[in-house]
Structure 1
Amino acid sequence: MSVEQPLWRALAGYRVLTMLYAIGLFASAHDRYDQPWVALAYFAVLFGWTLATLPRVNNAASCTKRFLAVDLTVALTGILLTPLADSHHVAEGGPTLPSIWTAGSVLAFAIKGGWRWAAFASTIVACANLVERGVPARDTVHNVILVWVASIGIGYVVEVARASERTLARALEIEAATRERERLARDIHDGVLQVLAMVQRRGAVIGGEAAELGRMAGEQEAALRTLVSGGLVPVPRVSEDAGEGAVVLRAAAEQDDTVDPTAPVDLRTLLAPYAGARVSLAEPGAPVPLPSGAARELAAAVGAALDNVREHAGPDARAWILVEDEPDAVVVTVRDDGPGIPEGRLAQAEGEGRLGVVQSIRGRLRDLGGSAELSSVPGQGTEVELNVPKNARKTRGKAERR
């Protein structure tokens, strides 16, 4: 049920009760009116209009702008006819013909359109009351301010209620989608994922073409696990028929130069292509925004680190990518289970002109104002920690292609 529906029902009841109240006031003092027939004619219209328009104040759809305009006109007409029906009563500070029924007309504006519509309607009613009185008496100003404040307050409450209703509806949709995802994940885990895992294991045992088939099944299993767990899905990978290795198309690291380097992008989308059967990606559940140029360079540095894993640790080595979104920086750690780097090997490689770590990794991070820390223990693998400040700006061309 709509959270504002009770307000419409309350408004309908208010209009009927205040209409009867206004008629009762006239009946109790009809002998004091200068021209009671004017009041009788107005109350006949008010009685018929209030009862006939009850369906109009059942919901926001039926309470149209045209109805609101006519309803407010009925209230204003009653206010302005009051001096004609009883000039002495007005001079003594008595109520207008519609009395507090007028507030119901203003409240209809508030429930329909919020506090702005309420302010518009209550201002018009205030002007009509001042014209009817002739002078801004204390009681008139008091009543005008009361209606104005009350209608605006109710209009604001209605807007908050509608926003809350939309939020609740969205939360229910997310809950339903989450339940459906969990149900599908259970079904997939019990069937498809187990079959893919079995194909991967059997292919590795049989060897030959079956080994390649098993490797592809392993990649699809990793992608499917990422999908059912709600993460980002790695892009498809293309394998060469010749040779033992596979050529991975890293489209995320080869962005167009026309992209604004300062525009924020989600780093997770650039790192997702690197995930696979032997590369695990652990990422936050929320987006990790970085300037586009800095994100591409960081993703390229991760790719260079994975290239080193394949080249030096072997095609069977496993690697793990961990993304951490800290308040002032983004930290990406790449770790492998290879044999590690012998002491002095990096300095030797740099002396031989092999600048993979120096340029492809540390050079990129230095240009971003960040840092790259490499630690390795022989026999225990290698770990590369890439730290990039969130205010990094990268404006030069594409990342180096390897």
Structure 2
Amino acid sequence: MADKAQAGEDRGTAEPSSGISVEQPLWRALTGYRVVTLGYALAVFALGYRDYGRPLLGVGYLALLTAWTLLTLPSVSSAERCTGRFLTADLTMAVSGILLSSLADPAGRVGPTLPSIWVAGPVIAVAIKSGWRWAAFGSALVGAANLLEDGHFSRSALHNVLLVCVASIAIGYVVEVARASERTLARALRIEAANRERERLARDIHDSVLQVLAMVQRRGTAIGGEAAELGRLAGDQEVALRALVTGQRQEGAGGPPPGAAFDGLLSGERHAAPGDPDAEIDLRTLLTLAAGGPGGPVTYAGPGCPVPLPADTARTVAAAVGAALDNVRSHAGGPAGEPAAAWILLEDEPEEITVTVRDDGPGIPEGRLAAAEAEGRMGAALSIRGRMRELGGSARWISVPGQGTEVELRLPRKRGWKEAGR
């Protein structure tokens, strides 16, 4: 039984989840149960001492049981410490006490056995450790000893045996279900973490490598000659990389925001002020840089008061705005190649912060965003929407053919964010 119980231990602890185990409170409860029931067994024996035919036999067993219970408390503190050998010895101690009861009380004047309800502790330990099947075996062993000691198979003895059996099997089943749920949760958390990391890498790839490859392709085609061949190769690599990103279910990212200063704030200083979780950035500053500065190619309008946000949050919002502006530059130009005009509007409201990016380009044909996502062009899908979703916000596109496009980014305010000017 020791080897099989040890195998059950390995199955039960092969894939623990992060955080506190759901079964740990059961071990703590079992520890308390063993101590309390030991005290109960000693009290019952003391009250019926005069009725025992061989009280010294009971004294000897209970002294041994007391020492065993106190010395083995660490063994019932966790699944790792509760070994198969201990469970075998613990059940042996329980069964021995039950069988010795008829010798200590040959006349049957005292009702309970020497260990009394303490015997349920070893069975519960087996249930928590190895599941309901081994719990059924342990409870059957203890139950058979009780019926043998009773001799008459009385209704009370059968009732006690059935109660221990049902309780231990139920506990074992619940523990097995909890362990399975814990393993499922652990796998789900690992998958979520991996998906988040892949999404971040895909965004970085889209914001850098894919944009460079696309630029090389366009410039090479325009120059011609050997540059055209270089552009074709760059285009092939861009298609292959997009397919890789899409095939791994990565939700890529949008283009890089304009301006060297803006690039520095978003990448080189992405983790500015490490160790200072309260570091904040005025969102107006980042959006002004995204617009190219005062008098730049993009018109910026916002509140007169600062709009402070946690540094990472502000940079993520600004990166989404930069991706929207990159889409304007790439797709919203006029038929003669002239760039579309663009505007950034920042609204700081008590419940949420709204950033709107508008342009006067030709608009987005119906279904174009879904088609672009299917082709692996994930700029709108996650460079904009994905970033806002990570922050608990949203992104919405409003486009009228011939009248331009509006991208509305909404970010709910969270507790602890400062509201300047209020």
Specify if TM > 0.5.
Answer: yes
For 2:79, the equivalent position in structure 1 comes to 60
Aligned residue identity for 1:208: G
Q: Supply the distance in 2 between the matched residues of 1:17 and 1:229 (Cα, whole angstroms).
A: 60
Contact kept, 8 Å, 1:78 with 1:98, in 2: the verdict is yes
Residue of structure 1 in register with 2:53 after alignment: 34
Question: How far apart are residue 179 of structure 1 and its match?
Answer: 1.7
Q: Of residues 193, 200, 205 in structure 1, which corresponds to 2:217?
A: 200
Larger Rg: 1
Counting only pairs closer than 5 Å after superposition, residues 15-34 of structure 1 correspond to structure 2 as 15-34=34-53
Counterpart for residue 171 of structure 1: 188
What is the aligned counterpart of 1:128 among 145, 152, 162?
145
Aligned match of 1:161:
178
1:145 paired residue number = 162
Q: What CA distance in whole angstroms lies between the structure 1 residues aligned with 2:243 and 2:56?
A: 80
Q: How do 1:1-400 residues align onto structure 2 when only pairs under 5 Å count?
A: 1-89=20-108, 94-231=111-248
Q: Secondary structure at the match of 2:183?
A: helix
- Residues 175-227 of structure 1 show CA distances to partners (whole Å, capped at 9, x for unaligned) of 21122122212221221111011011112112233223222222222222233
**TM-score normalised over the length of structure 2:** 0.53
Q: Displacement, 1:230?
A: 5.0
- Mapped to 2, the partners of 1:56 and 1:140 lie a distance apart of 30
- How far has the Cα of 1:136 moved from its partner? 1.2
Q: CA deviation at 1:133?
A: 0.9
Change (3 A) 1:230 1:30: farther
User: What is the deviation of 1:8?
Assistant: 0.7
Deviation at 1:232, TM superposition (A): 7.3
Asked if structure 2 preserves the Cα contact closer than 8 Å seen for 1:226 and 1:232, the reply is: no
Q: When the two structures are superposed, what TM-score results if normalisation uses the length of structure 1?
A: 0.56
Question: In the alignment, which residue of structure 2 is the partner of 1:265?
Answer: none
**Bigger RCO (CA 8 Å, 6+ sep):** 2
Return the letter of the residue paired with 1:144.
Answer: V
- What is the CA–CA distance in structure 1 between the aligned matches of 2:43 and 2:59, rounded to whole Å? 12
Residues 185 and 229 of structure 1 are in contact (CA less than 8 Å); yes or no, is this contact kept in structure 2? no
Query: What is aligned with 2:321?
Result: none
**Structure 2 counterpart of 1:138, one-letter code:** R
The two structures, once aligned, show a CA RMSD in angstroms of: 2.2
- Alpha-carbon contact 1:9-1:58 (below 8 Å) kept: yes
Cα pair 1:204 1:214 within 8 Å, conserved? yes
**1:135 aligned counterpart, secondary structure:** coil
For residues 21-48 of structure 1, what are the alpha-carbon distances to aligned partners after superposition, in whole Å with 9 as ceiling and x for unaligned?
1001111111111111011001101100
How far apart, CA to CA, are the structure 2 residues paired with 1:155 and 1:112?
Answer: 8
Equivalent position amino acid for 1:33 in 2: Y
In the alignment, the residues of structure 1 paired with residue 240 and residue 37 of structure 2 have an alpha-carbon distance, to the nearest angstrom, of: 66
Q: CA deviation at 1:135?
A: 2.1
Give the 3-state SS of the residue equivalent to 1:123 in structure 2. Answer: helix
Distance in 1, matches of 2:40 and 2:70, equals 14
Distance 2:21 2:145 in 1: 34
User: Between Structure 1 and Structure 2, how many residues are aligned?
Assistant: 236
Measured in 2, the distance between the counterparts of 1:72 and 1:30 equals 25
Q: Is the 8 A contact 1:110 1:154 kept in 2?
A: yes
Query: In structure 1, what residue type is equivalent to 2:96?
Result: T
SS in structure 2 at match of 1:63: coil
Structure 2: how far apart are the matches of 1:40 and 1:4? 35
In the alignment, is the contact (CA less than 8 A) between 1:72 and 1:105 conserved in 2? yes
Give unmatched runs, 5+ long, in structure 2.
1-19, 251-370, 376-422
Structure 1 residue 124, shift from structure 2 partner:
0.6
| Identity among equivalent pairs (%) | 66
1:87 Cα deviation from its structure 2 partner:
2.3
